[in-house]
Amino acid sequence: MEFIVLKKKEWQAAAIVNDQEITDIWAEATCLKKPDQGDLIVGKVSSVLDDKNAAFVSLGSGKPGLLNGDELICAQKKKTAGERMPAVSTCIKEGQSILVQVKYPGVERKGPIVTELVSVTGESLVYMPYAGYSAVSKQLPTMRDELLRIAHEHCVEQEGLIFRTSSAYVSEEALIDELGSLREEWQRIRHSTKAVRVPSVIKKAGGIAERISRLYPLHRATELATNDEEAVKTFLPLLAKGAKVMSEEENENVLQLLDRTINGIEKTVKIGKAALHIEETNAVTAIDVDSGGVRRSNKNQTHLEVNMMAIDEIARQLRLRNIGGMIIVDFLRVDEKEREALLTKMKNKEKADKRLKVGGFTRLGLFEMQRKKAGLPLSKLI
């Protein structure tokens, strides 16, 4: 498995290559002036809206961040204790300074979404000082009980941990040491908020490297290709032990492959004679399956065969385009029995894409899915 990082003037993209085929792409702007996902910012509460169970926080640049009531520290403590959620105005006041973390960056006319429940990411752990719970990567089902035991024994008060996939490769002592280091880092962050102007950025996020390492087991990649020397320093330590940088010729070939793939992404994707029409909006991604004149023994058989081919391509396009949020697919009409076959095949795609959550057919015959957002889709950046 190979990992590619392609840097251009306005953006950089990273991708996974398996058997000479790109399976996943992530991208981000290289000149980020607005708050980015994961940034820690001391902001100022600009308005409190009890009727909306939310507040707006001025972040210093761009639009104010939306802080939902259930993302407040005091609300999380009440939730952990099984008590009634408090009104936002009892937790924060207008004009108050507040340390928040960007959960989702702003998109077009919408400002970012922020949280007071911050997290600090390490190599094997994500430290959450106010979460009140711990969790384990889905990649480690057999180690779940043992890792949660470690969290139970060593977390105090509202602390929580997320054990990343790399937790499987280190000892319990190393995990405890990392927890101590992350605690110290968090105390340094808290201390630094006392002497800054408000609003002010306290800590920039790790960018695309940190984001991808949370989503994908990069330790499986054995080779790195990039046109950016800084990317070698950032990503090579995250790859498999002994991973190497590709030769100049191999490097050029895979970089061109990624560039061609990105530039070739269009709204219509051909599948033989059939096609997918992909329309991305702020609220939902709509995918229409078009038979394109394919003919089989009968109409139902034609529709079933095209739909089955479309599922493979839909799963691939979601990963290539980094599409997140609600997804609606308008499959070609088939009988109830064939619908069950389509649902079963789409459910199998969840195993390969941990961000994907399959719903099923609505009463009107549309197919619903949801995919966890991780940064902006390619269409917003490139």
What are 110-141's pLDDT values in tens digits?
Answer: 889 999 999 998 889 999 999 999 999 888 99
Q: What integer pLDDT is reported at residue 255 of this predicted model?
A: 92
Mind listing the domains of the chain with CATH numbers? Answer: 2-32+208-263 (3.30.420), 40-115 (2.40.50.140), 120-204 (no CATH), 268-381 (no CATH)
155 pLDDT more than 70: yes
Read off the DSSP letter of residue 284: E
- Which residues, 6 or more positions from 213, have their beta carbon under 8 angstroms from its beta carbon? 164, 238
215 pLDDT more than 80: no
Torsions phi, psi for 264 (to 5 deg):
-90, 0
Dist CA 165 CA 172 (whole Å): 14
Q: What integer pLDDT is reported at residue 46 of this predicted model?
A: 95
Q: Of 96-105, 208-217, 284-293, 316-325, give the lowest mean pLDDT range.
A: 208-217
Contact of 183 with 125, CB cutoff 8 Å: no
381 pLDDT more than 80: no
Stretch 21-43: mean pLDDT: 83
Q: What integer pLDDT is reported at residue 47 of this predicted model?
A: 95
- Tell me which residue of 284, 285, 249 sits closest to 267, measured CA to CA: 285
374 pLDDT more than 90: no
Read off the DSSP letter of residue 131: -
Contact of 331 with 307, CB cutoff 8 Å: yes
Cβ burial 155-164 (10 Å sphere, 16+ → b, else e): beebbbbbbb
- Which residues, 6 or more positions from 314, have their beta carbon under 8 angstroms from its beta carbon? 276, 287, 329
- Tell me which residue of 99, 83, 93 sits closest to 47, measured CA to CA: 93
From first CA to last CA, the distance across the chain in angstroms is 25
Over residues 164-187, the pLDDT tens digits come to 888 988 999 999 999 999 999 999
Q: What integer pLDDT is reported at residue 32 of this predicted model?
A: 59
Stretch 201-222: mean pLDDT: 80
Over residues 219-269, the pLDDT tens digits come to 888 999 999 888 888 888 888 888 899 998 889 999 999 999 888 889 999
Its pTM stands at: 0.66
Dist CA 231 CA 151 (whole Å): 33
308 pLDDT more than 90: yes
Q: What integer pLDDT is reported at residue 120 of this predicted model?
A: 92
- Which residues, 6 or more positions from 92, have their beta carbon under 8 angstroms from its beta carbon? 45, 48, 55, 72, 98
Stretch 358-364: mean pLDDT: 93
- Tell me which residue of 326, 352, 358, 320 sits closest to 139, measured CA to CA: 352
Contact of 189 with 202, CB cutoff 8 Å: yes
